[in-house]
Amino acid sequence: MALQDRNRVVVLEDRVENISGAEFPLSFDGDSVPFTLAEFKDTMDIKIVRITPTDIEFDLIGVDASVANALRRILIAEIPTMAIEKVYMVNNTGIVQDEVLAHRLGLIPIKADPDEFQWKKPSAQPTDQNTLVFRMDVTCTRNPEASADETDAKKKYINAAVYSSQLEWHPQGDQAERFAKAPIRPVHEDILVTKMRPGQQIVCEMHCEKGVGKDHAKFSPVATASYRLLPEIQLLEDITGEDADALKECFAPGVIE
């Protein structure tokens, strides 16, 4: 493998070459190219392709595939967030068991800056510096304004469906002042938690703590994080006529003109 090919993963007819990192001495026909942080900073570049409130796409240039994969794994497993860790069930007469309901509540993403909170040790007591408190008190009743022949449960009953918007944040200590400009809340207000019928009730208190995705998936800040290699197509000979048209059809529009 020549030195100029070190940034190329080559897809051949029967195999894939250059898939492993090679930034160590004597890996390129006698040339020594050990990893240095200074050179890494000079050669690496990031170009934002698309960014929205919920996702981001970018090109990571000048790095080995192993670095891109390491970044992917860091995004999934090592960036802290706040999530519901403990659920204290006061009353639950719905059809969803306490354990399953607590699990569903834990997976609701919470909009809170984890940098504003301390890590909570298992033996530590909850404080306004390491814990967020949510409460939910929902009772399903019949809607007195619904007609007798109504079949839509959302119109026939009140609180037939329980959503994440019904989680109420209860500030502790000075949290009300600290987060006055950005009140703590679920990221999405339309996440279905459970369904109920008249006479059923859910009363519980939830404590949010700081954590990372490698401990539990509920702390992962991303739903998915993936990468793919930037293709570079090299034609070894001229292709014309019908063969050129057939080759063009093998790729997405715009790749080959």
pLDDT tens, residue by residue, 2-17: 555 556 777 778 887 7
pLDDT of residue 32: 59
Spell out where the chain has E strands.
10-11, 16-17, 45-51, 56-61, 81-92, 110-111, 132-139, 141-142, 157-158, 161-163, 168-169, 185-186, 192-195, 201-211
pLDDT of residue 16: 79
Is residue 47 within 8 A of residue 184, CB to CB? The reply is no
Beta bridge partners of 146: none
Note the pTM of the prediction, 2 decimals: 0.78
- Provide the edge-to-edge strand list for the sheet that holds 168-169: 81-92, 201-211, 132-139, 168-169
pLDDT of residue 251: 80
pLDDT of residue 7: 61
Low-confidence stretches of the chain (pLDDT beneath 50): 1, 25-26
CA-to-CA separations, 222 to 70, 81, 191, in angstroms, rounded = 15, 10, 16
Read off the tokens for 38. 């200074």
